[in-house]
Structure 1
Amino acid sequence: MSAVSALIVVDMQNDFCLPKGALAVENAMETLPLINKLLDSDAFNYKVATKDWHPQNHISFASNHPEPHNKPLESFIDMKNIVANKPHETMRQRLWPVHCVQGTRGAELLSELHMDKVDLIVEKGTDERVEMYSAFSDSFGNLTAGEGGVTHDLAGRLHERGITDVYCVGVAGDYCVNYTVLDAAKAGFKTFVIEQGQRCVDPGTWPDVKNGLQKGGAQVLSEDDEQVQRLFTS
């Protein structure tokens, strides 16, 4: 059976990409030519863009926690699985600067993205009680499509369209790309990440992230690999 492929472009938003973005990822803008080239490719049957879409009172924002344990990028909290009514389940959560707040310019996707090629926009992280790096589910694996966590059941949408293969690019490689890729693999898709199409919050972590992705069933490709080059000639 021939592959039916989807492209997921993760969180290419102003707050993550502009030099003065609230949570700017180093060199994120360097990925834009490759990402737009992928968006322009006819090799993909379905193209998705995701974005963080947080309320102002989101649990991951350092400013929503008391001093002195509220330093952006440095402090951590124990986040409870309130969404599933399992407060005994906790997870260590890194605290971030305020970013991608609903309705702000920082939350907008980059104007340079070829958005006319995108079939679906998935807004995620809209439930203030829990973090959501993956476009498929929150950090505890809860899917709350239509109920506050994410606007679409992405796995369901892809399965409905007969998608077999998923390619991911975007930011950040060590967070939202990482968990989106892992969840895509868990959902049964043959999953790939193109490493030149991502950048990390903590760049030095990429080798470990890459190893974790491969252990999680995903394949990490280079843009020079024959498989990727075929995407541009389809």
Structure 2
Amino acid sequence: MLKIEETDALLVVDVQNDFCTGGALPVPFGERVVSPINSMLKFFDHIVFTRDWHPEDHCSFSFEPEFRDGSWPVHCIEDTPGAEFHPDLRVPVDALIINKATDSGREAYSGFDRTGLAEMLRRRGVERVFVAGLTLDYCVRTTVLDALQEGFSTILVEDGVRAVLPENTTSILEELRAAGAETVRSNGIQ
């Protein structure tokens, strides 16, 4: 069991309606990350939720999307129901909310990409981050890699993530472990 310390933070990446069943860009079983994430909230003093918060004319939108990097259906338009957090996800009132991919001319997958998140975490004394959310192969992956690059000890919550392409899950987990991330299941923390 990993004991959560005052210097730990939980980063919840993009658990938004458009990435769940019925959304514009549904991740297979994306809503299944909600329960493991909710079960961990009570352990953390520092909780961050990121969200795609695209303008209507975002550069990644395509009317003939390839469903891969740089070619997606219209999704998570700022201030729309699709951009809202999943209705069952508990978002504490004191949680930090980070909007990302807000520049119409530039894609941004990572919660650290031009958001000031690293500095915000450092000001709060955070040294280790636990990462969960959607999607493992894009936004979660880049958030984990950037957290490591920023010098945070980084732990991926395995049962708290899902991939756009589930068949890539094993290779992405291997890549993240090789980069220095650890993994844990949500029931492995206290």
Q: TM-score, normalised by structure 2?
A: 0.92
Confirm or deny: 8 A CA contact 1:3 1:165 kept in the other structure: no
Shift of 1:160: 0.5
Whether 2:106 is the aligned partner of 1:130: answer yes
2:35 to 17, 25, 33: 33
Partner of 1:94: 70
Matching of residues 28-67 of structure 1 within 5 Å: 28-39=30-41, 41-42=42-43, 44-63=44-63
Q: In structure 2, what residue type is equivalent to 1:38?
A: M
Whether 2:135 is the aligned partner of 1:154: answer no
Confirm or deny: 8 A CA contact 2:130 2:157 kept in the other structure: yes
Confirm or deny: 8 A CA contact 1:49 1:118 kept in the other structure: no
Asked which structure has the greater RCO (Cα within 8 Å, sep 6+), the reply is 2
Q: In structure 2, what residue type is equivalent to 1:5?
A: D
Shift of 1:3: 6.1
- In structure 1, the gaps of 5 or more residues are 64-69, 75-92, 138-142, 144-151
Shift of 1:118: 4.9
Q: Secondary structure at the match of 1:175?
A: helix
Q: Secondary structure at the match of 1:198?
A: strand
Q: In structure 1, what residue type is equivalent to 2:92?
A: D
Shift of 1:223: 3.5
Between structure 1 and structure 2, the one with the greater Rg is 1
Partner of 1:73: 67
Hey, what's the Cα distance between the residues in 2 that align with 1:164 and 1:62? 39
Structure 1 segments of 4+ aligned residues over 3 angstroms from their partners? none
Confirm or deny: 8 A CA contact 2:6 2:45 kept in the other structure: no
Whether 2:113 is the aligned partner of 1:110: answer no
Deviations 1:19-41 (A, max 9, x none): 210001111111211110111x2
Hey, what's the Cα distance between the residues in 2 that align with 1:118 and 1:13? 19
Hey, what's the Cα distance between the residues in 2 that align with 1:131 and 1:220? 27
